[in-house]
């Protein structure tokens, strides 16, 4: 008597929303998506305009601070981010402690490396500081927050390049000066000590555009993980490490790697119909298709397509392109996919993995190429949450309990 049904609380009915299909956990001013119309805007600016006219770091500033920077603001932001790319020498030992094998996945290293960063910057750890660190309108706390943001964006490329090179048994490269964010990354990945090394400008531009369009996508699984973790007021390095782990899965950021593995397994275009039938029998997954929010083509996929054409002019076409096209065309006219409104997402159409492959990145490095820019979106949302009116509310969802009622303990010898 007096017990409420499990789904009724003093606050009203508790709603079960498996997979958060229709749950909004916060109000946000950062990114707008209309999944039916295929619209994506950062702070009100259409993604197509930004991809055409902005740069990754300028859009990063926009996402984080809410407005396009003036020239001085941009210069300051860019120089802080690039300056913070330099990593303490101790980190080299950290990377060398990973299994030195060609198949040691770089995402495992990168996830650990973000968490490792937290041990370097105790100023970001609220529990060590014994206080809530970030207060709206307080200059010192905003500066502390900005420093962590510069560090994380700056060091994302450095850590990614370290995870890449350590597997190959190569020395690490100190971030250069005087290059753009994308060029500095390319330099750290493959610099072979030539004097005045300049990355190919077409590839630099392509990488910058791909970074820009991957910078944010509101509350996807990884961003939600960052916020959920951050809602306990942990340091941002730990929160970003959690987001990185979430992104690694093949239903999310691991999809760009999964698309290429799928295309390799299909091989030639003539094998596509049999693959489609296997997907419909639920024996296979068509990676790169379907999206929780987009029920039409992902607007980023058109930008990827244009970028691919430019890259392929430099690198030559990828032999898997024809298979990708055949798969796309077959799925788009098949009743199974039409009925479920499954369209190519950003990881499929001219699969951005095909661009990365053409640029010479190994397959398992593709999710890393997604994390590097996505750190920006995670931090924009984290900053927004930390500074929101009324302070941070810990994210603690409820469940609908469907297990046993109360039971009496039975000693082990009396169980049968």
Please confirm, yes or no, whether 88 is among the known catalytic residues.
no
Q: How far is the CB of 187 from ligand ACO (least distance, A)?
A: 27
Q: Which residues bind ligand ACO (CB under 6 A)?
A: 19, 220, 251-253, 255, 279, 285-292, 340, 342, 345-347
Q: How far is the CB of 297 from ligand ACO (least distance, A)?
A: 12
Catalytic residue among 84, 217, 291, 381: 291
Q: What would the 3-class secondary structure string for the chain be?
A: CCCCCCCEECCEECCCCHHHCCCCCCCCCCEEEECCCCEEEECCEEHHHHHHHCCHHHHHHHHHHCCCCCHHHHHHHHHHHHHCCCCCCHHHHHHHCCCCCCCCCHHHHHHHHHHHHHCCCHHHCHHHHCCCCCCCCCHHHHHHHHHHHHHHHHHHHHHHHHHHHHHCCCCCCCCCCCCCHHHHHHHHHHCCCCCCCCCCHHHHHHHHHHHHHCCCCCCCHHHHHHHHHHCCCCCHHHHHHHHHHHHCCCCCCCHHHHHHHHHHHHCCHHHHHHHHHHHHCCCCCCCCECCCCCCCCCHHHHHHHHHHHHHHHHHCCCCCHHHHHHHHHHHHCCHHHHHCCCCECCCCCCCHHHHHHHCCCCHHHHHHHHHHHHHHHHHHHHHHHHCCCCCCCCCCCCCCCCCCCCCCCCCHHHCC
Identity of the residue, 33 or 183, whose beta carbon is nearer to ligand ACO in the bound complex? 33
CA dist list (Å): 334 to 203, 287, 301, 329? 35, 16, 20, 9
Catalytic residue among 208, 298, 347, 352: 347
Please confirm, yes or no, whether 291 is among the known catalytic residues.
yes
Residue closest to ligand ACO when measured from CB atoms = 290
Q: How far is the CB of 168 from ligand ACO (least distance, A)?
A: 27
Picking from 140, 104, 134, the residue whose alpha carbon sits closest to that of residue 239 is 134
Q: How far is the CB of 288 from ligand ACO (least distance, A)?
A: 5
Q: How far is the CB of 289 from ligand ACO (least distance, A)?
A: 4
Identity of the residue, 320 or 386, whose beta carbon is nearer to ligand ACO in the bound complex? 320
Active site residues: 291, 347
């Amino acid at each position: 008597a007096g017990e409420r049904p499990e789904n009724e609380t003093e606050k009203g009915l508790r709603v079960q929303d498996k997979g958060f299909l229709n749950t909004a956990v916060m109000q946000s001013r950062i990114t707008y998506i209309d999944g039916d119309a295929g619209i994506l805007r950062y702070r009100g600016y259409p993604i197509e305009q930004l991809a055409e006219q902005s740069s990754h770091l300028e859009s990063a500033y926009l996402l984080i601070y809410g407005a396009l920077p003036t020239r001085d603001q941009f210069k300051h932001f860019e120089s802080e981010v690039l300056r913070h790319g330099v990593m303490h020498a101790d980190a080299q030992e950290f990377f060398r402690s990973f299994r030195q094998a060609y198949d040691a996945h770089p995402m495992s290293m990168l996830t650990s490396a973000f968490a490792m960063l937290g041990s370097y910057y105790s100023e970001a750890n609220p529990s060590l500081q014994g206080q809530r660190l970030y207060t709206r309108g307080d200059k010192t706390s905003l500066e502390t927050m900005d420093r962590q943001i510069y560090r994380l964006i700056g060091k994302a490329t450095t850590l990614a390049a370290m995870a890449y090179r350590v597997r190959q048994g190569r020395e690490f490269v100190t971030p250069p000066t005087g290059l753009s964010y994308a060029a500095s990354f390319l330099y750290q990945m493959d610099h072979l000590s030539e004097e005045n090394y300049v990355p190919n400008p077409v590839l630099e531009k392509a990488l910058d555009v791909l970074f820009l369009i991957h910078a944010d996508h509101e509350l996807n699984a990884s961003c939600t993980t960052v916020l959920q973790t951050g809602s306990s007021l942990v340091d941002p390095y730990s929160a970003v490490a959690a987001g990185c782990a979430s992104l690694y899965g093949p239903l999310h950021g691991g999809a760009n790697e999964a698309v290429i593995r799928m295309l390799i397994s299909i091989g030639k275009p003539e094998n596509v119909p049999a693959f489609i039938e296997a997907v419909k029998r639920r024996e296979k997954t068509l990676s790169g298709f379907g999206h929780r929010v987009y029920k039409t083509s992902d607007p980023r996929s058109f930008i990827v397509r244009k970028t691919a054409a430019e890259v392929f002019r430099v690198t030559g076409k990828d032999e898997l392109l024809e298979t990708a096209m055949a798969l796309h065309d077959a799925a788009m006219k098949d009743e199974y996919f039409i009925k479920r409104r499954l369209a190519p997402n950003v990881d499929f159409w001219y699969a951005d993995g095909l661009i990365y492959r053409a640029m010479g990145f190994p397959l398992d490095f593709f999710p890393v190429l997604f994390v590097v820019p996505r750190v920006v979106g995670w931090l924009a949302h984290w900053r927004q949450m930390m500074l929101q009116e009324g302070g941070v509310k810990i994210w603690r969802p409820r469940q609908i309990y469907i297990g046993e009622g109360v039971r009496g303990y039975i000693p082990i010898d009396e169980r049968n």
